[in-house]
Chain A
Amino acid sequence: MLVKIALLGLVLAIAIFGAFPLIEQQQWLGLALLVLVTAVIFWVYLSPRRIPAKYLIPGTLFLLAFQVFPVLYTMSTAFTNFGDAHRGSKEDAIQAIEGASITKVEGSTDYRLAVATEGDPITGDIVFLLTDFETKQSQVGTSDGLEPLPPEGVQLSPLGNVTEAPGYTILTIGAAGAREEDLADFSVPTENGAIVAAGLTRAFEGAPQRAYDEACDCIKDAETGQTWTADETDGLFVDDQGENLAQGWQVNVGLRNFADVVTDPLIAKYFFRTLVWNLAFAALTVAGTFALGLLVAVVLNHERLKGQRIYRSLLILPYAMPAFAMLLLWRDMFNTDFGLINRMFGTEVNWFGKPVTAMIAVLLVQLWMGYPYMFLVATGALQSIPGDLKEAASVDGAKPVYAFRTIIFPLLLVALAPLMIASFAFNFNNFNAIYMVSEGGPFPPDNPQIGATDLLITYTYRLAFGAQGAQYGFAAAVSVFIFLIVAVFSIIGFRRTRALEEVN
């Protein structure tokens, strides 16, 4: 009862904690969802009935939050051009274009600036007290324009910033910083543009060269008269030559990303080869680690072996060490001239120079990284097999090898097959194993895009992020394809497992 109170209290606390930012950002849909989820949780747990729901709810919520939502998000991203230069909204892009085009009006003066208010420093209207760099003449700038500052009682700092002026409160840098929201919109209009602050102690007369015109839905350059018209299908401003401005915005591109994946000549040309190697990599890694892990487990499971615990702890070491560091270490050990492996065997193999040796190298690394896990689970499974089965077999006259093959191994498979499928799915997308060791190489000299040991995932990564910055939309589309491939193989795998279980 007490635990229940505490947990429900925690749920409510988290919900309200999450509600504030949602309200602040006016995310009403998210808020509604939050309220709904919280209400359902309370409705289920505050009642003595609804027992099945009590068991189902936590799992379902986590499934939704960590599986379904990311998949849906990835899929929805795949229909946009989200990526570098297309991250924000059109308004953001326009603001960025206009902001980047503000330049100093030619021949205009620089000003020393003191930010001041008329009256109270926190609520009073902002004014700029400006002193000409050259003439040391001071003026008052308001949103109506410039007017001279009466010199009586005005004090200047050695640099020329006004430090005292009757009728005005001079703000310190900290106090001026606090008025950011008012300062952001403040400028002193002039004939050629406006005087804007450069920091809080200097100002200059500047004007944006480019401005957005709603009438033509385009950006106009004041100086050259050039125009860039909004192109809503690409999320870019494009001129009549087809040249676009760098800053774009995010738009929905429909199925274009998927079409690009299918029609990209590089993807089409190498997809099959990469898929085959990818399957081989995952299958060989699982088979290799399983075989080695099982072998070691069987050997160490023998009753008469002394020091089992020491061996076992030593064997899990590779599993316990940080994988990142180990992968980098292995990469260095395979170095042609300075690596441990070539030195130890006195060979001069350029491991990452040839496709076959590079494949062997990454598989060896995975074998070393992966077998302790298989050893652990195999040991567990072996110990859970009742000893009388073995005894019965030996009473019936079965030799140990025969007994293992016909009785123990099938029983092991029942327990371990789901783990092997999971391991296969993991290794199918084992990004680090390739990226940290061979980086997908070696690359054929005539094609720097796809290497001999590239998995689909490392290849995708290079396609999506190696080029013009990040292209999340495109990457998401490729991920959807990879998701489908892995899903198909997993379904086939689990079907097979069910067949195994029927043997039982």
Chain B
Amino acid sequence: MRVRRTTLALLMAGLMVLLAGCGSGGGASDSGSEGVSLTIWADDKYSRAIKESATKWGELNDVQVNVQAVSKDLQTVYVTAAQAGKGPDLVMGAHDWIGNLVQNGTVDPLQLTDDTRAAFNELALQGVTYNGQIYGIPYAIENVVLFRNTDLAPQAPRTLEELVAKGKELKAAGKVSEIMALPVGPNGDAYHMYPIYTSAGGYLFGKGAEGDYDPKDLGLSKPEAARAFERIGELGEKGEGALKRSISPDNVTSIFTGKKTAFLLSGPWQIPDVEKSGVPYEITPIPGFQGGKEARPFVGVQAMYVASQGRFKSLAQEFATNYFIQPEVAVALYKADRRPPPLKAAFEEVSKTDPDMAKILDAGKNGDIMPAIPEMATVWDPLGKAQSATVGGAPPGSTVAAAAKAIEGQIK
């Protein structure tokens, strides 16, 4: 009898604790009035940038807008969450995600009117087009350019040879310690090396009939690639010494802002640091080899995607295709992160006060859209390592052949 009473008391107490827990929990989750909400995921920088315009739209339309920052591995986090049915309604990210997002069925194509299409930069639209469908609304475009310290090198070099000669001259005079700063690192950086690789005649993937990249046509296994690697080797540690493995993405900025070199080959994301350092700079296209092909950088596009598994998909489509294309939104995003807006009207507006934007766009106008096909994921690592090894003096021919073989083995 005594035991049973204790049991009863325990159960009652347990229930009370439980009820207390439920009470506080229920109150918190009830705050969303109608339950209509729009959730946007972006990285730290862009989540701050989009917040104001998104909230404004929400207030206007009586929709609660939640902007959430995912600081690391946004693409993987998004795909995993979307697959589990816990993803957002909209997600912001680079255009080369599209291939992976599509194969995982986590992004929906968008239907834009001809007017809307015409309002965007052609190259940016090309970036978000995959298998003939547009998958995202572009909001930034970026490519590698040449930053030049105008105190040290007043003239923009017309060729890569001129650039190296000027760098050597400055180095001999003791004014700088490095000919140029292009991130290589111990394991390579295929993105930054790409303009030099293309100027030397190499290519990554051939293009199919519709202008899409064709994973079956791998440029690395062609003789042009071996020749291009030879020229990369000539610029490397055993040659001119312009490319070095000790220069990596982590220290290029400080090498240029610390005036250890007159030339930095990198993208618009360097502008804030360069400007802060007070180094007088000028932005020009990356020069190619004398008599070689044009140095074509990779062009990347940042875009807003509508999630396939989003809870409020119509609302998300409305936001992306009818509000996100407004110039004010594009300008707000530009202010948070200075990269050229692909929306023509917004670009014109920001160009009035920021001449660098036009220079960046100009440097990338003949660039190659970064391949969005999933096969590209297999290329970065082997290609970078092969380039790094070549810079370090490894035989170019066999090195590029090994990289090509590794990539072909992965593509299958």
Contact = CB atoms under 8 A, between A and B. Distances in A.
Given A6-B17, A178-B35, A445 B105 contact: no
B105 A12 contact: no
Contact of A247 (B76, B79, B105, B110): B105
Contacts of B18: 9, 12-13, 16
A35 B228 CA distance: 66
B14 interface: yes
A164 interface: no
Contact of A446 (B251, B308, B399, B409): B399
Contacts of A200: 314-315, 317-318
Contact of A102 (B25, B109, B244, B390): B109
What interface size band does chain B fall in?
35 or more
Contacts of B146: none
A237 interface: no
Interface residue tally on A, bucketed by range: 35 or more
A148 to B, nearest CB: 23
Contacts of B395: 445
Interface in A27-49: 46-48
A199 to B, nearest CB: 3
A201 B322 contact: yes
Interface string A157-178: 0000000000000001111111
A470 B314 contact: no
State the main secondary structure of chain B at its contact with A.
Answer: helix
Given A99-B108, A198-B111, A177 B315 contact: yes
A85 interface: yes
A478 B185 CA distance: 29
B332 interface: no
Contacts of B102: 96, 100, 246-247
B187 A462 contact: no
Interface stretch (A255-263, A363-371, A436-444): A436-444
Interface stretch (B155-163, B197-205, B381-389): B381-389
A103 B108 CA distance: 12
A221 interface: no
B31 interface: no
Nearest to A348: B246
B394 interface: yes
Interface stretch (B168-176, B287-295, B371-379): B371-379
Contacts of B392: 350, 353
A175 B61 CA distance: 9
Contacts of A338: 246, 251, 255
B398 interface: yes
Nearest to A247: B105
B108 A100 contact: yes
B402 A447 contact: yes
Contacts of A375: none
A494 B204 CA distance: 53
B402 A46 contact: no
Given A5-B10, A6-B17, A202-B113, A173 B251 contact: no
Contact of A184 (B313, B320, B399, B410): B313
Nearest to A16: B18
Contacts of B25: 17
Contacts of A177: 36, 38, 61, 63, 312, 314-315, 318
Interface in B7-64: 7, 9-10, 13-18, 21-22, 25, 34-36, 38, 61-63
A392 B390 CA distance: 66
Interface string A355-367: 0000000000000
A439 B246 CA distance: 15
A197 B61 contact: no
Contact of A173 (B61, B389, B390, B403): B61
Contact of B103 (A46, A84, A184, A462): A84
Interface in A46-105: 46-48, 84-85, 87-88, 92-93, 95-97, 99-100, 102-104
Contact of B410 (A17, A336, A468): A468
B104 interface: yes
B246 A336 contact: yes
Nearest to B6: A46
Contacts, number: 219
B305 to A, nearest CB: 13
B267 interface: no
Contact of A448 (B320, B375, B385): B385
B109 A204 contact: no
Interface string A445-461: 11111000000000000
Nearest to B244: A337
A180 interface: yes
A468 B378 contact: yes
A445 B394 contact: yes
A9 B111 contact: no
A338 to B, nearest CB: 6
Nearest to B321: A199
B385 A443 contact: yes
Given A9-B17, A12-B18, A13-B18, A199 B186 contact: no
B133 A100 contact: yes
A356 B24 CA distance: 60
B35 A197 contact: no
A96 B308 CA distance: 8
A467 B103 CA distance: 15
A88 B103 CA distance: 11
B378 A467 contact: yes
A149 to B, nearest CB: 21
B250 interface: yes
A445 B313 contact: no
A96 B102 CA distance: 8
Nearest to B309: A92
B339 interface: no
B377 A13 contact: no
A8 interface: yes
Contacts of B1: none
B79 A104 contact: no
A99 B322 CA distance: 20
B245 interface: yes
B3 interface: yes
B15 A448 contact: no
Interface of A: 4-6, 8-13, 16-17, 46-48, 84-85, 87-88, 92-93, 95-97, 99-100, 102-104, 110, 133, 172-178, 180, 183-184, 197-202, 204, 206, 246-248, 266, 328, 332, 335-339, 350, 352-353, 438-439, 441-443, 445-449, 462, 466-470
What 9 pairs between A and B have smallest CB-CB spacing?
A96-B105, A9-B17, A199-B318, A445-B394, A174-B62, A177-B315, A9-B14, A246-B103, A448-B382
8 contacts: A84-B100, A92-B105, A172-B62, A177-B61, A198-B110, A443-B389, A468-B377, A470-B76
